[in-house]
Chain A
Amino acid sequence: MLFQTWSFLVFFAVAYPLYLLIKGTRLRLPFLLAISYVFYAWLDPWYLVPIIYTSIVDYLVVAAMARYRRKGLWLFVSIANSLILLGAFKYGVFITDNLNALLSTLNLSLTLPTPSRMLPAGLSFFLFQSMGYVIDSYRGNVPREKSFVAHAVFVAFFPRLLAGPIERAGNLFPQLHEIPGIKGGDIAEGLSLFVVGLFKKIALADYLALYVSKVYAAPGEYQSPALILATVLFAWQIYFDFSGYTDMARGIARMMGIRLMLNFNNPYLATSLGEFWGRWHISLSSWFKDYVYIPLGGNRKGNFNTYRNIFLTMVLSGLWHGAAWTFVLWGAIHAIGRFATREMERTAFYRDRVPKCAKQAFVFAIVAFAWIFFRAESTSDAWLIVTRIFSSGLADPYCPLMALGLIAAVWCYQFAFESPLRWALQIRGVRIATVILMLAFLAVFTPSSEQAFIYMQF
């Protein structure tokens, strides 16, 4: 079920009052689990199989860790199980395609059968969340969750199920066990988050997608200005799409008395790639930091090892997004960008003399360049776009001025938000007028959307 559909509206209109009625009773968690499964099964009932399986396995693994001595073995079982699931559903086709290409290159007649392409929505999100809990349990950072229902709700809590944030056990379990004291302020703030997310998704992301999809579907037919604008528009499309989902997820959870973590913090105002990853998909980048980068050694063993660790982490992060070489290249470009901005920050000239807005523009340029590889259908398409950006003509891009105007408005808002002018955005009349304008625009000019969220496929 998608947040922006009428189905969800009806689902929530029925489920929420019931939730408010039973939130103080023992039925709360079973009810949360039931509505989470209904929400997920609405997309495809078969999706319930891997999520229930993961919940059972990781619940038993953590129980076994508490009971038996060889905790490492149980951790291995859980991680191997998660990786097998990822391999089966997400990377199976990628791995067999590449192995078959290798076998063909070696002139071997053997061909491996291609596995099913069915990928449960949000698979990587709930697997990584569950994996994080198992690792935290192994490290002794969180107590064992004894209730299977609470554990299953932790894995399947519906607002964050399809595209995160990837919550931590230390944040979510205590909230699941507390009786939520939902006040008017929680509902008001939840609604505020939801409306902003809805506007980002329907009015902005789905709008920009129209131009981006047109250009990226046939990059050979477009010249430099159109390809550059489509890339810039995609940078904002994916931001609006993903952060819009997160805002809506956080808003719904907030109305239910649960605070999910912030996942985006004006990422295109970052002045370095390192800072960008502290602002973009925060729950994933902090997951990789805690469970991959630091265990690899972090920045403790000199420059070479630091850069090696950053490179490995970023490439793995790329692979987390999708099973294709384009995602690997996307991760590698970010790693190289991080080396570059890290080294530049070490020079006094760059650190002290280069204006902040120039740094922001430079970081945005690197990020946008990397998005080419993320969005392109294949590595050859990505390469075609890059070469045509630098070598083709200057034909009129026919890019809607309204799209550029909306992006400019959001950029200005975010600049103001992080500047001394922030007070102007806090004026009551300005906030009320902004929300009315957003809702009026949604109500009058945007069709209801059933476009899936980009990150659901990960």
Chain B
Amino acid sequence: MESSPATDANSNAVFLSGRQWLIVGAAMLILVVTAPTLWQRVELFEPGADYRIPYKLGSDYWLYARHSHEARDQRRIPLIGDSVIWGHYVPPDQTLSHHLNAALGSEQFANLGLDGTHPAALGGLVEHYAGEISGQSVVIHFNPLWITSAKHDLQTAKEFHFNHPKLVPQFTTKIPCYKASTASRLKTAIGHHIPFLAWTAHLRIAYFDGADLQRWTLQNPYACPAAALTSGLPSPESTAPDEGSSWLDRGGKQRRIGWVDLDGSLQWRFFQNTVKRVQDQGGKVFVLVGPYNEHMLDAESAATYGQIKEEIEAWLQEAKIPHLIPPPLPSALYADSSHPLAEGYALLAQQLLKDPSFQSFAR
């Protein structure tokens, strides 16, 4: 049996001295610090009045931070929330921010909603990727959908894959249905503090169809990755991801809801924390609650929801937060339990603009 001497001289590792490692370290530091900023100069991003984060870039938090930055530069009031604010069943020119701007005749509001988020994720979004809103006026939406069941409230003991897991607290608050490994949580937590990592995720999501380069080449074996990188940022979709039709057209039956007790609700606590965080950063907050589709609730569920609204209002009043809990929209203007259709958004915008506390807030 022949053998070669097993010494380091045979190793083909690329050995560097300490000084050479310092050069490499400096080069990597420059890359990590400057690449995201330089990329912003190369990548054309001009969000118009109705811009919203494209549906397929829904987990591109670096782009969200950039959108938030642009909104601040254009002195717009950001509307922050889940798919209700984003406008899941309507095109970009039929969302709440659009109707507010149209009614005012100016581009005063920006759509910073993010499809698929929920209060737990929204907290992370505001904390890590919407720092630009500190000290600003902000409209934050609370969707009662997230307290309609233990599952929506992330309270099931069984693992449940919800949207935007990277935005929820990884170590500070226990979320029973979130079972990510410690390594994965650690990676996520560190990632929030290094913009470079969010930028590399942006490259993957925006230019490689949401996959990493390696998986992308598997789908495009003969394509040039450099060409994909220079193809430009994907434009926002001009249509809604799901065609909007009234919930009544699909049967529209009433149902019983297993509301979560507000005091024990994780999502409500996350929402409260988000509002407090924005306030603590000097922000002026206006809270919009609902309007939930109360037409689909049976009598008992509706009564419970009435109590929940009272509790929410009591907290908002106690915290001296301007707010609006509008009455439900006409039944035909809902697509489902919480999403209005285009006319519903127009009506909601009118209700908001007529509200004295909102007028005072937006002034």
Contacts and interface: CB of A to CB of B under 8 A. Distances in A.
Nearest to B12: A417
B221 interface: yes
Nearest to A402: B217
B18 A440 contact: no
Interface in A387-419: 398-403, 413-414, 417
A431 B23 CA distance: 11
A262 B200 contact: no
Interface in A247-303: 247, 259, 261-263, 265-266, 272, 274-275, 277-279, 282-283, 285-286, 289, 293, 298
A432 B13 contact: no
B18 A443 contact: no
Nearest to A404: B221
B32 A443 contact: yes
User: Secondary structure at chain A's binding surface: helix, strand, loop or mixed?
Assistant: helix
A162 B55 CA distance: 43
Contacts of A2: 183
A443 B28 contact: yes
User: Secondary structure at chain B's binding surface: helix, strand, loop or mixed?
Assistant: helix
Nearest to A189: B15
Given A7-B186, A443-B28, A400 B221 contact: yes
A418 to B, nearest CB: 8
Interface residues of A, number: 67
A149 interface: no
A187 B225 contact: no
Contact of B17 (A185, A196, A399): A185
A188 B214 contact: no
B1 interface: yes
**Most A-side CB within 10 Å, residue of B15, B214, B221:** B214
Contacts of A193: 11, 13, 15
B42 interface: no
A265 B5 CA distance: 9
B6 A187 contact: no
Contacts of A185: 17-18
Contact of B200 (A6, A414, A417, A444): A444
B21 interface: yes
B10 interface: yes
A432 B10 contact: no
Contacts of A140: none
B319 interface: no
Contact of A414 (B1, B12, B15, B186): B12
Contacts of B3: 277-278, 282, 285-286, 289
A435 B190 CA distance: 24
A265 B200 contact: no
A81 interface: no
Given A440-B31, A444-B200, A450 B183 contact: yes
A181 to B, nearest CB: 15
A428 interface: yes
B196 interface: yes
B8 A262 contact: yes
Given A5-B183, A432-B24, A450-B184, A247 B2 contact: no
Interface string A2-42: 10011100100000000000000000000000000000000
Contact of B6 (A188, A191, A265): A265
Nearest to A299: B1
Across chains A and B, which 4 residue pairs bring their CB atoms closest together, nearest first?
A: A278-B3, A400-B217, A262-B6, A7-B183
11 contacts: A184-B18, A188-B21, A265-B4, A265-B6, A401-B222, A403-B217, A431-B14, A431-B20, A438-B14, A443-B31, A450-B184
Given A192-B13, A193-B11, 5 more contacts: A188-B17, A293-B1, A401-B222, A431-B15, A445-B212
